[in-house]
Amino acid sequence: MDFGKAVLQALQIVWLNAATVRTVAHDQNATLPAFLIPALGGVLGSVVLAIFGYSPAAVLVDLVVGVLASMAGVVGGTAVLYVTSLLFDGKAGFMELLRPMGHAGLLGWLSVLMVVPVFGVAVFYLAMIWSIVVDVVIVKNVGRLSTVRAVAVVLIPLFVLSVLLFFLLGAAFLVMMSRPH
């Protein structure tokens, strides 16, 4: 595994290079970097906590949780997009989709910019929005879907999650308001 090459491919994927998306999708040697790239994003998030002066114990817990959560996020997010793409006649296998999705986790490395007030938060939110665009390009090219279908594959789960979150927060609010003061 050439990690430097994987990072360059990740940059190309984040820059929406469709040929690189397809190459990484079919390269079995790209599987390990698909987990390592987002995991390193989790490590960088812990570095931010250390910079802000959190206790070593808190940084260590965040490091473990961040690495595990980033890898679980790649698997979980890919699973959702994989199942949704099947509903739209997508042709990608799970691992073919996972490899470029993991490489796109390079955007998580921007979390280190959170140390910069206002700018870091703005970059973080822009990266989240950009990741939706990247996901569409990945789903379109790996799943061999039209742009409209790829957009649907990416946005429908986000919409469902938003509705569920809305109702969950609404229910929590109602419970809080019904308690005697």
Q: How many CB atoms lie within 10 A of CB 161?
A: 11
Structure tokens that stand for 55 in this block: 């206790």
Structure tokens that stand for 74 in this block: 């790649």
Q: Which residue has the tokens 């079995």?
A: 28
Structure tokens that stand for 115 in this block: 């140390």
Task: Read off the amino acid at residue 57.
Answer: A
Closest by CA to 149, choosing from 91, 78, 74, 73, is 91
The pLDDT value given to residue 113: 83
pLDDT band at residue 32 using 50, 70 and 90 as cut-offs:
very high
pLDDT of 47-70, one tens digit each? Answer: 887 887 888 888 888 889 989 999
Task: Check: CB of residue 77 under 8 Å from CB of residue 134.
Answer: no
E strand or H helix that includes residue 162: helix 147-178
Ramachandran region, residue 117 (left: φ > 0; alpha: ψ -120 to 50; beta: rest): beta
Angle between helices 18-26 and 94-103 (to 10 degrees): 130
Closest by CA to 14, choosing from 157, 128, 159, 155, is 128
Quote the mean pLDDT of the chain: 93
pLDDT of 103-126, one tens digit each? Answer: 999 998 888 887 788 888 899 899
Task: Check: CB of residue 85 under 8 Å from CB of residue 139.
Answer: yes
pTM (two decimals): 0.89
Using alpha carbons only, give the angle 71, 42, 137 rounded to the nearest 5 degrees: 60
Task: Check: CB of residue 160 under 8 Å from CB of residue 81.
Answer: no
